[in-house]
Chain A
Amino acid sequence: MRIPDEERALAEAARKGDQAAFAGLVRLHQRRAYLVARAIVTVHEDAEDAVQEGFVRAWQAIERFDPSQGFGAWVNRIVANAALDITRRRKVRSTEELNDALQSPFRDPAQDAELKSRLNDALAQLPERARSVIVLHDIEGFTHVEIGEMLGIPGGTARSDLHHARQKLRTLLQDLRG
């Protein structure tokens, strides 16, 4: 994997304790890290907690990071673990919370209201891991292997989860798709 020179330089400086360099790494990777966390915890506040916790853990472990590897993949795994910790602590997540999370005021008001409502319901009906896999793969573009590493499951399981999640989502939204 080709690591951009800027990222490699920032990572090497951060390993020596340079907080400004670490801030540069945060700037580069926080968006993807947030989306990884959001795919797992679904709620914005939890996603932000996971991202903060993940980057703090990364800072604490920065001496063990190999700058020849991608910082993004490394920190995404840490953030995913932090997000999974949150889901373990809050195992029971009600449908109402998910719907609240999805009914963001920043959505395009022109979008089909019925579709939004059905999408909320459909996503809420997916198993937690399946929802994470479908978002990480179809929305964020991670590979099965990358998703497996983040969620602590084999890549083949991620592929299988994705297939079933897509099928279920299509079934749930079938009448809207016609």
Chain B
Amino acid sequence: MADELKFPTNGVRRDADSLDESLSALIRDAYAPPGGEAYWPGLEQRIMARVASESQVENGWWSVLAPWGRPALIAAAAIFAIAGVINQQLVDTDNQLAYESAFQSSTPDVVSTSEEIMSLERGTDGATLSYFLSH
């Protein structure tokens, strides 16, 4: 290959296994951007235009919302806490209702028996019964 091709090497550490310098130079040349040195100022401008655009976006709607960030977080935390309390209360109420429902369904016999005793106590037979029970 042509040894006369000389390109900057970027401090490439060459070893026994490295590609020929001329081949490296050819690949470097093939991968060079179009336009030579004139390309770089244009690329810098395009990059900085995008950076400026991104900054405007960042300083646009977000900068309006940014001051509200901390209050919004506090409000969200408060809402979350209140929702937790309400949820706990609903769970307690459900448990209470379930307990009462179960208690009521299992007590009618007891209630009726005690009501019968009370009615017996109130009647004449009840008075007799009370007499015998107390003597």
Which residues of A are at the interface with B, using a C-beta cutoff of 8 A? 19, 22-23, 26-27, 30-32, 34-35, 38-39, 42, 44, 47-48, 51-52, 55-56, 59-60, 101-102, 104-108, 111-112, 115-116, 119-120, 123, 134-135, 137-141, 143, 163, 166, 169, 173, 176-177
Contacts and interface: CB of A to CB of B under 8 A. Distances in A.
Interface in B1-58: 1-2, 5, 9-13, 17-20, 23-24, 26-36, 40, 43-44, 46-48, 50-52, 54-55
B1 A19 contact: no
Interface of B: 1-2, 5, 9-13, 17-20, 23-24, 26-36, 40, 43-44, 46-48, 50-52, 54-55
Contacts of B2: 111-112
Given A115-B1, A119-B27, A177-B1, A106 B32 contact: yes
A23 B44 contact: yes
Contacts, number: 115
Instruction: Classify the interface of chain A: helix, strand, loop or mixed.
Output: helix
Nearest to B51: A59
Contact of A139 (B13, B27, B46, B52): B27
Contacts of A31: 40
A112 to B, nearest CB: 7
A122 B40 CA distance: 29
B36 A123 contact: no
A135 to B, nearest CB: 6
B34 A30 contact: no
Contact of B43 (A48, A111, A112, A120): A48
